[in-house]
Amino acid sequence: MNSLFPSIVFRSQSSGLMNFFVPIISIILTLITGSIIFVLLGFDPVYALYTFFISPISSTYGISELFVKATPLALIAIGLSFCFKNNIYNIGAEGQLTMGAIFGGGIGILFHDTNAFWLLPFMIFAGAIGGALWGLIPAILKTKFNTNEILTSLMLVYVALFILDYLVVGPWKDPFGYSFPKSRPFSESGRMPLLFDGLRVHFGLIITLFLIFVSWFIFSKTIFGFQLKVSGYSPKAARYAGFNQTTLVLFAFAICGAFAGIAGLAEVSGPIGLLYRDISPNYGFTAIIVAFLGRLHPIGIIFASLVIALTYLGAEDAQLFLQIPSAVGFIFQGLVLFYLLGAELLINYKLTYKKLL
Amino acid sequence: MSDTILNIENITKSFPRVMANKKVTFDIKKNAVHAILGENGAGKSTLVKILYGLLEPDEGNIKLNNKDFKVNSPAEARKQGIGMVFQHFSLFDSLSVKENLILGIDEKMSYSDLENKLQNISSRYNLPLDLDAPITALSAGEKQRVEIVRILLQDPQILIMDEPTSVLTPQEVESLFVTLNALVKEGRTILYITHKLEEVISICDTVTIMRSGEIIDTSSTSNQTAKTLATKMLGQKLDDLKTNYGHINDEVNFEVKNISCDFNDPFLTDLKNISFQVRVGEIYGIAGVAGNGQSELMDILTGENINIKSGSITFDSKKIEKYGPQKRRDLSISFVPENRLGHSAVPELSLSENILLSQFPENNFIKNGIILKNNVDDFANNVINDFKVITPGNDAKASSLSGGNLQKYVIGREISSKPKILIISHPTWGIDAGAEHSIRESLIELSQNGTSIIVISQDLDELIEITHKISVIYDGNLSKPFKTSEVEIEKLGLLMGGKNE
């Protein structure tokens, strides 16, 4: 007789093919579960899924919006992959994004009446520095005091958000803004150039693609990328090889922070144009899902960012046309992550039913 | 037959590539301490895991009190009256002693029942315990006491102790022996697994000696000495030296002087004043039973651990004890640690990529931070060809290779750069005879070309076959060196068992 409950057993050989299919299977399971939820809410699942996933991108404008949302997600996710490949769990990208927006946006506010070609590059640079510095805090705490980076990086998110809050209601408040909690608008040369007239997709997309390419190059061609990979797979082997783990942790956090910071700056100098409280609908957290859905691979991350960006758009359309709260978007994101982790487990482990006496 | 509690008959258990138990047959008498003595890998653990329901034998029978005994889990074994105290404790550090005891027993019990039972056990067997202390606050000996009490709460007839003294201080060992004697007086039987000769003679009544999965002898300990036990445990080792050490001159090029290191960790062995010298072209062997400080010493020799308390390492008249692994490689020192997967090689990476773990100055693998893939691939192909590594190609993952092939590859990687020193731990551990032979051959060849080699190994045969000098590590102390061609095997056996005459 077999036991009623299965036990989880390590697989000696995991399938490479299944490894590739995990993201796809997760998305399919998400869609199935999503339609069940829609049915329970009393909607025709086909119509609901259409509203959620097809109608948002059935126009040029919709596709442009998809790229607007995917840009920060992809950029942060590729940054996160520097940390995740090294087995460092930086989940504070949202804070690093906010700090990037504050540093870069601060430059934009300082030069709000300047129009010069150097302004935007300067803001991008400042954004990268802000994000990198914010990312280095948990990195230094981890390397010096052996703190858990999951906790410190997460807590620093809220610190960053409160700093932004303070700035936009306090010192950086727009003097002509009727006391709304927002800053002055940046000057025209402090804004991301639009790629097409009348569409919101902006130069940040080009920066993102460029940085994804650079990251791919680092991961696959440089000794630094190799060291990240080795210390992620096996810290012991990294120690044997003599790689400096402290440096690796610091660099991974700094790069991730810089990318998130640029993403934050690209948001405020792109679609938004000024600083205010809600500059990011949790891009920094959602990018964690993007990074894993894309299996930490540059190409995978590009596709994953588009899929997850669609859940943002779908949630807005669902709110508009089905009158259901836009939080449904988060449900879909959660489902994807849930199935992803589940499938991941089943790649390396299998369920068996133990024999009983 | 009435005084026999356990009959073990023809137990055979094989794993891929090894036969861990070959027709193991012996009886255990009631009311006695029965030792199973053997080197690491002799098959002791496999046997007790079978008794405790953790492994299933391929063949053979076990009888407990003349009735067939077959269990599929430790819980069943406990129900039948067999308890086991493992070498590594399985306690929840953050919980108290009381909570750990309640969690650890199979039947439900209230705290007050538990306390009554405990008082009884504590006083009867010399096992004082502070029930409310958290486990983290306990010493290794006290933790072991918790483990023993946990088993005694279930009133076992047979108590299996796996290397119980390996983490204890001498005082704790003494107090453990008092407990064991009290248990035997009560009519219980103890199965005592060890590789320490002294302990067998001082507290065990009968001893079963195992070697390479087979029973060598079962006899009373009363007419045994440490010497006779050592000979049986190690077997007749062959003095079959194929090596010629005429090339060694008197120039010392690697010297370890008074290295001491404290770890403050019950699972690590502190190193005590270790000194040795290696001459150019010499193969220096360090023998010893596992867990006597070998891996701790290895980490210090490779530079993976540079936090030593005192002492120095000198190479080519440079002090290198504070150098990390890469800086040592830059001086042409090369290492092969004991574990292949995850230490000297990364299983998830390709053979080519694994080359990059260990770079020497003359390797031209990196330019401006960018990997020169062609050079790395060429190097990998050369290693594969020169050392006859069986693999589809340099892009195969390290995990796809058999142990012997991967070890040949790792050693090939390390010696292709013609290092001045090779430090290697357990070079042929867990690999087949063919690969073993070719690895030993390449080590001898390397030394004849002027490389000094330090070999740490538990395999005494191997050390005797290839080394020029040999010393023994026991509990973090290194013995003086002996000329391998002149040393008596019994002498080494005694030193390995911690007996220094």
Q: What secondary structure does DSSP assign to A196-240, as a single string?
A: STT---BTHHHHHHHHHHHHHHHHHHBHHHHHHHHHHH-HHHHHH
Distance CA B425, CA B294 (A): 8
Closest CA of chain A from B3, distance in Å: 30
Give me chain A's average pLDDT, please.
90
Domains of chain B: which residue ranges?
4-234, 237-332+419-501, 342-417
A144 has a chain B CB within 8 A of its CB: no
Read off the pLDDT of each residue in A238-263 and give the average, rounded to a whole number: 95
How many Cβ atoms are within 10 Å of B436's Cβ, its own excluded? 18
- Cβ pair A240:B369 closer than 8 A: no
Read off the pLDDT of each residue in A191-198 and give the average, rounded to a whole number: 91
Closest CA of chain B from A9, distance in Å: 15
- Cβ pair B326:A234 closer than 8 A: no
Count contacts between A and B (CB, < 8 Å): 61
| Residues listed for chain B | 501
As a whole-number percent, the residues of chain A with pLDDT over 70 amount to: 95
Phi, psi of A44 (to 5 degrees): -70, 120
Of A221, A230, A241, the CB nearest to B325: A241
Which domain, by its residues, includes A11? Answer: 7-352
**Residue B416 pLDDT more than 50?**
yes
Give A-chain residues touching B345 at CB under 8 angstroms.
237
Phi, psi of B259 (to 5 degrees): -75, 125
Q: Say which residue, B244 or A39, is predicted with more confidence.
A: A39
Dump strand ranges (E) for chain A.
Answer: 7-10, 349-352
Q: In the structure encoding, which two tokens stand for residue B202, read together?
A: 């001082």
Closest CA of chain B from A356, distance in Å: 9
Report the pLDDT value the prediction gives residue B241, as an integer from 0 to 100: 45
Dump strand ranges (E) for B81-205.
Answer: 82-85, 158-162, 189-194
B372 has a chain A CB within 8 A of its CB: no
Task: Return the CATH superfamily for domain B4-234.
Answer: P-loop containing nucleotide triphosphate hydrolases (3.40.50.300)
B72 has a chain A CB within 8 A of its CB: yes
For A178: left if phi > 0, alpha if psi spans -120 to 50, otherwise beta; the answer is: left
A222 has a chain B CB within 8 A of its CB: yes
- B237-332+419-501 fold: Rossmann fold (3.40.50)
Read off the pLDDT of each residue in A192-216 and give the average, rounded to a whole number: 94
Read off the pLDDT of each residue in B87-113 and give the average, rounded to a whole number: 81
Task: Choose, out of A234, A248, A295, A296, the residue to mutate when testing the contact with B (most B CBs < 10 Å).
Answer: A234
**Residue A96 pLDDT more than 70?**
yes
A40 has a chain B CB within 8 A of its CB: no
As a whole-number percent, the residues of chain B with pLDDT over 90 amount to: 31
Of B335, B343, B371, the CB nearest to A226: B371
Read off the pLDDT of each residue in A311-331 and give the average, rounded to a whole number: 86
Number of H helices, E strands in chain A: 13, 2
**Helix H or strand E encompassing B375:** helix B373-386
Q: In a 3-state reduction of DSSP, which class is residue B380?
A: helix
Q: Say which residue, B391 or B40, is predicted with more confidence.
A: B391
Distance CA B501, CA B494 (A): 8
Sequence-separated (6 or more) residues with CB below 8 Å from residue A36: A45
DSSP state of A189: G
Give A-chain residues touching B303 at CB under 8 angstroms.
242
Distance CA B453, CA B461 (A): 17
Closest CA of chain B from A98, distance in Å: 32
Q: What share of chain A is helix, strand, coil (3-state, %, to 5)?
A: 70, 5, 25
Contact B146, B129 (CB under 8 A): yes
Give B-chain residues touching A355 at CB under 8 angstroms.
72
- Nearest CA to B374 out of B349, B352, B396 is that of B352
How many Cβ atoms are within 10 Å of A321's Cβ, its own excluded? 14
- Cβ pair A242:B325 closer than 8 A: yes
pTM of the model: 0.73
Is A116 contained in some domain?
Answer: yes
Phi, psi of B37 (to 5 degrees): -110, 140
**Residue A143 pLDDT more than 50?**
yes
Contact B443, B467 (CB under 8 A): no
Is A329 contained in some domain?
Answer: yes
Distance CA A17, CA B376 (A): 28
Is A41 contained in some domain?
Answer: yes
Closest CA of chain B from A73, distance in Å: 28
For chain A, the straight-line distance linking the first and the last C-alpha, in angstroms and rounded, comes to: 7
Task: Choose, out of B76, B302, B341, B357, the residue to mutate when testing the contact with A (most A CBs < 10 Å).
Answer: B357
Closest CA of chain A from B346, distance in Å: 7
Is A2 contained in some domain?
Answer: no
Q: What is the CATH number of the domain that holds A19?
A: 1.10.3470
Of B326, B342, B348, the CB nearest to A236: B342
Contact B341, B350 (CB under 8 A): no
Residue of chain B with shortest Cα separation from A241 = B357
Report the pLDDT value the prediction gives residue B1, as an integer from 0 to 100: 41
Report the pLDDT value the prediction gives residue A304, as an integer from 0 to 100: 92
B329 has a chain A CB within 8 A of its CB: yes
Sequence-separated (6 or more) residues with CB below 8 Å from residue A228: A82, A85, A86, A219, A248, A252
Distance CA A343, CA B129 (A): 46
Task: Give the Å distances, CA to CA, from A211 to A125, A248, A301, B393, B424.
Answer: 14, 19, 12, 33, 43
Q: Say which residue, B496 or A353, is predicted with more confidence.
A: B496
Give residue B431's pLDDT band: very low, low, confident or very high (50, 70, 90): low
What ipTM was reported for this prediction? 0.81
Q: Are strands B469-474 and B283-287 parallel, antiparallel or unpaired?
A: parallel
Read off the pLDDT of each residue in B316-335 and give the average, rounded to a whole number: 93
**Residue A193 pLDDT more than 60?**
yes
Distance CA B131, CA B111 (A): 11
Is A1 contained in some domain?
Answer: no
Distance CA A232, CA A274 (A): 39
Q: What is the number of structural domains in chain A?
A: 1
Is A357 contained in some domain?
Answer: no
Report the pLDDT value the prediction gives residue B169, as an integer from 0 to 100: 66
Neighbour order of strands in the sheet with B310-315 = B271-279, B252-261, B310-315, B318-319
Task: Give the Å distances, CA to CA, from A132 to A137, A260, B463.
Answer: 9, 8, 53
Tens of pLDDT along A150-185? 999 999 999 999 999 999 998 999 888 888 889 999
